[in-house]
Amino acid sequence: MRRTICILLFTVSWFPSQAASFGFRRGMTPKEVTSLVGQNTIIKSTRDALGGVEFVVSSAPKPYPACKEYSLHFSQKDGLLAITCIGNKKPDSGTWEQLRTDFQEVQKDLEVAYLTPDFVSLDGPKPEKRLGAGSVMLIAKWDDLDGGTVTLYGLATEGVGGQIEIAYLFKGWFDYISRVEAKDSTL
């Protein structure tokens, strides 16, 4: 009797390439986002120099527990191009070590979808240093499979405290924001 063994190999593409998009999709319009999350979740809406829109919303289709609000950037032509999850602020009295622990917990969650980050910077002051004693930044960055990037930030600023942010920048974002900045500089 003969046995055949079949081995299946899964590649990185099996993982969801837009896990950090919180249920939003590249190219969505402001109207689609509004119908998805509701008008009452829009905290702020502003226009940029090219007629694009930024929404700050209090909810997402797939919310992440560390996120307090989400900043969404739309171009008129390409729709949704950037999402930033803005975490809850930690007070100045919090320690650098607390921020680093929060950062590493979120990093582990993102590694489920994106594996090992392409870049990580965890250098910082002594663990007992208070967050309000100076500026600190932790960074982990991944490239997604669709030409975009996911960047996790741990930010601490004197007088403000610390917080975690996750930025999902879809393919086309960097070109768009360069055009916005160029237009802004001529105004």
Residue 35 lies in a domain: yes
Condensed to tens digits (0 to 9), the pLDDT of residues 112-135 reads 888 889 988 876 555 555 555 556
**Does any domain span residue 153?**
yes
pTM of the model: 0.80
Residue 45 CB partners (closer than 8 Å, separation 6+): 30, 53, 54, 55, 56
pLDDT of 6 > 70? The answer is no
Region of 79 please: left (phi>0), alpha (psi -120 to 50) or beta. left
Over residues 7-18, the pLDDT tens digits come to 323 323 323 445
Q: Is residue 11 part of a domain?
A: no
Token pair of 56 as six digits: 């700050």
> Is residue 56's pLDDT more than 90?
yes
Mean pLDDT of 144-160: 82
pLDDT value at 25 more than 90: yes
At 92 the pLDDT is 60
Q: Is residue 5 part of a domain?
A: no
Give domain status of residue 144, yes or no: yes
**Element of type H or E holding 149:** strand 149-157
Range of the domain at 162: 20-186
Residue 148 lies in a domain: yes
Query: Per the domain annotation, does 71 fall within a domain?
Result: yes
Distance of CA 185 to the CA centre of its chain: 26
Distances (CA, A) of 95 to 100, 122, 136: 9, 15, 11
